[in-house]
C-alpha cells in the first residue's frame, strides 16, 4: 500500500470512530469539545499541595544577596513555598570549614546563620543539602561550576562525620530540636553523575551517606535524613537495599527528573536540548520511583523530587516561554499523590552555575528573572496557590476544581500542546515569537453553588498574556534593560485579572461560562462570595 492510500484509509478509519463523529457534531452545533463540570457539593478531599512543599535555589552564597532575598520574599508571599533547597552549603564561599597547622578542624557557621535566619524569618524552612566538599577536607581538587564546588570524597570520613555532627548540633542549639525535626537533611547532589558532581563510586557515596546519617541521628534520632539526590531517578532501589543490609537509617528517597530527551548535565546549553515527546516525561519517573519504594523493604519512605523542570540547563529559552506554565501544571497533575514534594528548579535567575549572565532573558531556570520580572512559570505556581483547601470532584484531566472556607470556588485549567518541530532544539525554537493556535472553546458548568452574589475574576497565562519574554522580544531583545523597560515589562505582565464581573446566583441555578482556549493557555476562574 503506498503512503497516499495508507493516509486515506487512516483518515477513513478515524472518521468512523464515535469520538470523531461526536466532535464533528459538536462543531456543527457550536458546542465546545471540552466541557468541565464542577459540583460545589461534591468534595473529593483535601487539596494536595505537594507542588508548593519545596522550591530550589542555585547556591547558598547567593542567598546572602539583597536582591535574592527580596525575590524570595516575593515568591513566598505569592506561591507559599514551605521549604527551599540549594547547593553549596559547605563550599568554601560559605566559610564553614578549615584546618589549623596541625590538621585540627575549625568550624564557622556565621554565613550559614545569616542565610538560615533569613529563611526562617519569612516562613521558609531549609531542605538541607549537605555539599559540596570544603577544600580543606577534600581528597582532590576537581570542581564543578563557575563558583568551583569541590566534588571529591572527603580525605577523612571521620572528619566529615564530625563536621556534619557539629553543624547539626549548631542548628539544634540555634533553632531548637522541635524546629529542626521538621527539616530534611539530604546527602550530596547527583552522585551518579561522575565525574560531574561526584568523583567517587556508588560505594563511596553510600559510605558518605552512612557517615552523614550517623552524625545527624547522633544529635537527634528524630531528625530526617535521606538521599541519594540522583539525576534521572537512579540508585533508588540500591540505596534502600544498602541501608537495609547495613542497618543505616533513611527517612526519605530523593531524586531528580527533567523533561528533555537526552543527557543530564549541560551548564551552558551548548548541546541543544530537546523537550521530550513522551507525554509522561518527568511524571513517569515519579510514578516509577513510588513503585520502587512500595515494592522495597521500606515501602513507607517519603519521596521527594528535589529538582525538576522541563530542562536541566540554565540556558534553555523554554524556561522563559509561556509554554512552561502549561508544562508545569501538566506534570504536577500527572504526578498526583506519588510524591511528597516536587521542588521546581529554581525560583530565581540569580543563579551563577555558568557564571553571571549577561542578558536579562537567557533561558534561566528561574520563576523570576534577574530583575525580578515574573515569568509565565511563576504564574503557574501562583495560580495553584490560589486554589482552595478542599478539592472538588472533576473528571477533566487538565484542571483542578476547589473551594475555600469562605464559600469561594476556584477552577484552574489549561491546554498542553507539544509544538516543538522535529529536528529542532529548544535553543532554536523557544527563542522565537510563537503565536498560539486556537483550540476551541471550553464550557465551564458549576452547579449547587450557594445562593448569593459573587465576584468572578479570570486570570490567564498564555501567548501575550503574562508572557514577559514576548514583551521583551517586542523591545528588540536588548542586552541590558533600563529601569523604565523593567517597569514596562512588569506592568504589562503583572498577573492582574483579565476579566472581572459581578454575578448573582439563585438557589438551584447553575453558572456557566465559555472560554476561548489557545495552545498552552492557562486559566484560573476565581469566584469570591461577597
CA-based diameter of the chain, in Å?
86
- Spatial distance between the Cα atoms of 416 and 30, rounded to a whole number of angstroms: 23
Euclidean distance between CA atoms 22 and 42, whole angstroms: 28
d(CA 216, CA 435): 52
Cα–Cα dist 170/530, whole Å: 50
List the alpha helices (DSSP H) in 105-235: 110-121, 157-175, 177-180, 202-219
* DSSP one-letter string for 455-475: EEEEEEEBTTBS-HHHHHHHT
Give 524's DSSP letter: E
The set of residues, in sequence order, having a beta carbon less than 8 Å from that of 84 and lying 6+ positions away, is 54, 55, 56, 57, 72, 119, 124, 125, 126, 127, 347
Catalytic (active-site) positions: 190, 307
Cα gap 231→387, rounded to integer Å: 31
| Conformation bin of residue 464: beta by default, left when phi > 0, alpha when psi is -120 to 50 | left
In angstroms, rounded to a whole number, what is the distance separating the alpha carbons of residues 290 and 6? 42
Question: C-alpha angle with apex 230: 226 to 235, nearest 5 degrees?
Answer: 80
Nearest Cα residue to 469 out of 267, 266, 323: 323
Q: Yes or no: say if 323 and 379 are a contact pair by the CB < 8 Å rule.
A: no
Chain-centre distance for alpha carbon 231:
15
User: Which among 270, 268, 277, 168 is positioned nearest to 212, based on CA atoms?
Assistant: 168
Distance from C-alpha of 230 to C-alpha of 213, rounded to nearest angstrom: 17
* Bridge partners (DSSP) listed for residue 518: 438
CB 226 within 8 A of CB 216: no
CA dihedral sign, ordered 221, 224, 225, 226: positive
CA distance between the termini of the chain: 65
CB atoms within 10 A of CB 285: 23
Q: In what order do the strands lie in the sheet with 34-39?
A: 34-39, 438-447, 511-518
Amino acid at each position: 500500500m503506498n503512503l497516499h492510500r495508507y493516509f486515506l484509509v487512516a483518515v477513513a478509519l478515524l472518521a468512523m470512530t464515535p469520538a470523531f463523529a461526536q466532535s464533528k457534531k459538536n462543531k456543527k452545533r457550536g458546542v465546545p469539545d471540552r466541557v468541565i463540570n464542577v459540583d460545589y457539593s461534591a468534595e473529593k478531599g483535601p487539596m494536595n499541595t505537594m507542588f508548593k512543599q519545596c522550591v530550589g535555589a542555585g547556591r547558598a552564597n547567593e542567598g546572602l544577596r539583597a536582591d535574592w532575598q527580596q525575590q524570595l520574599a516575593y515568591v513566598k508571599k505569592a506561591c507559599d513555598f514551605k521549604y527551599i533547597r540549594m547547593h553549596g552549603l559547605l563550599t568554601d564561599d560559605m566559610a564553614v570549614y578549615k584546618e589549623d597547622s596541625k590538621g585540627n578542624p575549625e568550624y564557622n557557621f556565621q554565613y550559614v546563620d545569616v542565610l538560615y535566619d533569613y529563611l526562617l524569618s519569612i516562613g521558609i524552612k531549609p531542605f538541607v543539602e549537605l555539599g559540596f566538599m570544603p577544600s580543606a577536607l577534600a581528597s582532590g581538587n576537581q570542581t564543578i561550576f563557575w563558583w568551583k564546588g569541590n566534588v571529591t570524597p572527603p580525605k577523612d570520613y571521620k572528619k566529615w562525620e564530625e563536621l556534619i555532627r557539629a553543624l547539626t548540633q549548631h542548628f539544634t542549639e540555634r533553632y531548637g530540636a522541635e524546629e529542626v525535626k521538621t527539616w530534611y537533611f539530604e546527602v550530596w547532589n547527583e552522585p551518579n553523575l561522575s565525574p560531574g558532581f561526584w568523583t567517587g563510586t556508588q560505594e563511596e557515596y553510600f559510605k558518605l551517606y552512612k557517615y552523614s546519617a550517623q552524625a545527624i541521628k547522633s544529635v537527634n534520632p528524630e531528625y530526617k535524613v535521606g538521599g541519594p539526590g540522583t539525576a534521572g531517578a537512579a540508585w533508588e532501589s540500591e540505596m534502600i537495599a544498602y541501608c537495609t543490609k547495613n542497618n543505616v537509617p533513611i527517612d526519605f528517597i530523593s531524586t531528580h527528573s527533567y523533561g528533555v530527551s537526552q543527557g543530564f548535565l549541560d551548564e551552558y546549553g551548548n548541546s541543544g536540548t530537546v523537550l521530550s515527546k513522551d507525554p509522561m516525561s518527568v511524571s513517569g519517573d515519579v510514578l516509577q520511583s513510588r513503585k520502587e519504594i512500595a515494592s522495597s523493604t521500606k515501602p513507607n519512605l517519603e519521596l521527594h523530587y528535589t529538582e525538576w523542570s522541563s530542562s536541566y540547563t540554565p540556558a534553555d529559552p523554554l524556561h522563559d516561554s509561556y509554554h512552561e506554565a502549561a508544562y508545569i501544571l501538566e506534570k504536577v497533575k500527572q504526578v498526583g499523590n506519588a510524591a511528597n514534594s516536587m521542588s521546581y528548579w529554581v525560583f530565581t535567575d540569580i543563579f551563577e552555575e555558568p557564571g553571571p549572565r549577561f542578558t536579562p532573558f537567557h533561558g534561566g531556570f528561574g520563576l523570576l528573572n534577574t530583575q525580578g520580572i515574573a515569568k509565565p512559570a511563576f504564574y503557574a505556581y501562583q495560580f495553584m496557590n490560589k486554589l482552595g483547601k478542599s478539592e472538588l470532584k472533576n473528571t477533566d484531566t487538565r484542571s483542578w476544581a476547589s473551594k475555600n472556607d469562605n464559600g469561594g470556588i476556584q477552577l484552574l485549567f489549561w491546554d498542553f500542546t507539544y509544538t516543538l518541530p522535529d529536528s529542532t532544539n529548544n535553543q532554536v525554537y523557544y527563542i522565537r515569537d510563537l503565536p498560539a493556535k486556537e483550540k476551541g472553546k471550553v464550557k465551564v458548568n458549576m452547579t449547587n453553588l450557594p445562593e448569593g452574589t459573587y465576584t468572578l475574576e479570570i486570570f490567564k497565562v498564555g501567548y501575550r498574556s503574562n508572557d514577559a519574554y514576548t514583551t521583551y522580544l517586542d523591545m528588540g531583545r536588548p542586552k541590558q534593560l533600563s529601569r523604565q523597560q523593567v517597569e514596562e515589562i512588569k506592568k504589562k505582565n503583572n498577573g492582574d485579572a483579565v476579566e472581572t464581573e459581578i454575578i448573582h446566583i439563585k438557589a438551584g441555578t447553575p453558572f456557566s461560562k465559555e472560554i476561548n482556549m489557545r495552545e498552552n493557555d492557562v486559566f484560573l476562574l476565581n469566584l469570591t462570595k461577597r
